[in-house]
Structure 1
Amino acid sequence: MTKTLIVTNDFPPRPGGIQAFVHGLASRRPPGSVAVYAPAWKGAAAFDAEQPFPVVRHPGSLMLPEPGVLRRAADVLRAERCDSVVFGAAAPLGLLAPALRRRGAGRLVGITHGHEAGWASLPVARTVLGRIGDGLDVLTYLGEYTRSRMARALSPAAAARMARLAPGVDEKAFRPGAGGADVRTRHGLSDRPVVVCVSRLVPRKGQDALIHAWPRVLESVPDAALLLVGGGPYRADLERLAESRGVERSVVFTGSVPWEELPAHYDAGDVFAMPCRTRRRGLDVEGLGIVYLEASATGLPVVAGDSGGAPDAVLDGETGLVVPGRSVPRLAAALTGLLGDPDRARRMGERGRAWVEREWRWDVQAARFGSLLGE
Structure 2
Amino acid sequence: MKRTLVVTNDFPPRTGGIQSFVHGLVSRLPPDSVVVYAPDWPGCADFDLRQPYPVVRHPTSLMLPTPAVARRAAGLIAEFGCDTVVFGAAAPLGLLAPRVRAAGADRVVMVTHGHEAAWAGFPAGRRLLARIGAHADVVTYLGEYTRRRLAGAIPEGRLVRLAPGVDTAVFHPGADGARVRAVLGLGERPVVVCLSRLVPRKGQDTLLRAWPAVLRDVPRAVLLIVGGGPYRRKLERLARPLGGSVRMTGPVPEAELPGHLAAGDVFAMPCRTRLGGADVEGLGIVYLEASASGLPVVAGASGGAPDAVRHGETGLVVDGRSPREVAAALSGLLRDPVRARAMGERGREWVAREWSWDLVASRFAGLLEPA
Q: Normalising TM by the smaller chain, what interval?
A: over 0.9
- What is the CA-CA distance between 1:124 and the residue it aligns to? 2.0
- What is the CA-CA distance between 1:16 and the residue it aligns to? 1.0
State the match for 1:11 in structure 2. 11
- Distance (whole Å) between structure 1 residues aligned to residue 84 and residue 49 of structure 2: 24
State the one-letter code of the partner of 1:266.
L
Deviation string, structure 1 residues 302-350 (Cα, Å, up to 9, x no partner): 0000000000000110000001111111111110110011110111000
State the one-letter code of the partner of 1:362.
W
- Distance (whole Å) between structure 1 residues aligned to residue 54 and residue 133 of structure 2: 28
- Distance (whole Å) between structure 2 residues aligned to residue 370 and residue 213 of structure 1: 44
State the match for 1:217 in structure 2. 214
State the match for 1:125 in structure 2. 125
State the match for 1:349 in structure 2. 344
State the match for 1:141 in structure 2. 141
Spell out the pairing of 1:152-191 with structure 2 (5 A cutoff).
Answer: 152-154=152-154, 158-191=155-188
Structure 1 gap segments, 5+ residues each: none
Is 1:206 matched with 2:203? yes
RMSD across aligned C-alpha pairs, in angstroms? 0.9
State the one-letter code of the partner of 1:50.
R
State the match for 1:301 in structure 2. 296
State the match for 1:234 in structure 2. 231
Q: Is residue 239–residue 248 contact of structure 1 (8 Å, CA) maintained in 2?
A: no
State the match for 1:27 in structure 2. 27
- What is the CA-CA distance between 1:159 and the residue it aligns to? 2.6
- What is the CA-CA distance between 1:66 and the residue it aligns to? 1.2
- Distance (whole Å) between structure 2 residues aligned to residue 202 and residue 130 of structure 1: 30
| SS at 2:92 equivalent | helix
TM-score normalized with structure 1 length: 0.97
State the one-letter code of the partner of 2:209.
H
Deviation string, structure 1 residues 31-89 (Cα, Å, up to 9, x no partner): 31111001111111111110010001111111111111011001111111111000000
Number of positions where the alignment pairs a residue of Structure 1 with one of Structure 2: 370
Deviation string, structure 1 residues 225-248 (Cα, Å, up to 9, x no partner): 0000000111111111123xx313
Deviation string, structure 1 residues 100-137 (Cα, Å, up to 9, x no partner): 11211011000000000111122222211100011100
Q: Percent identity?
A: 68
TM-score normalized with structure 2 length: 0.98
- Distance (whole Å) between structure 1 residues aligned to residue 150 and residue 243 of structure 2: 41
State the one-letter code of the partner of 2:198.
L
Structure 2 gap segments, 5+ residues each: none
- What is the CA-CA distance between 1:351 and the residue it aligns to? 0.4
Is 1:61 matched with 2:56? no
State the one-letter code of the partner of 1:83.
D
Moved more, 120-129 or 100-109: 120-129
State the match for 2:274 in structure 1. 279
State the one-letter code of the partner of 1:349.
G
- What is the CA-CA distance between 1:180 and the residue it aligns to? 0.7
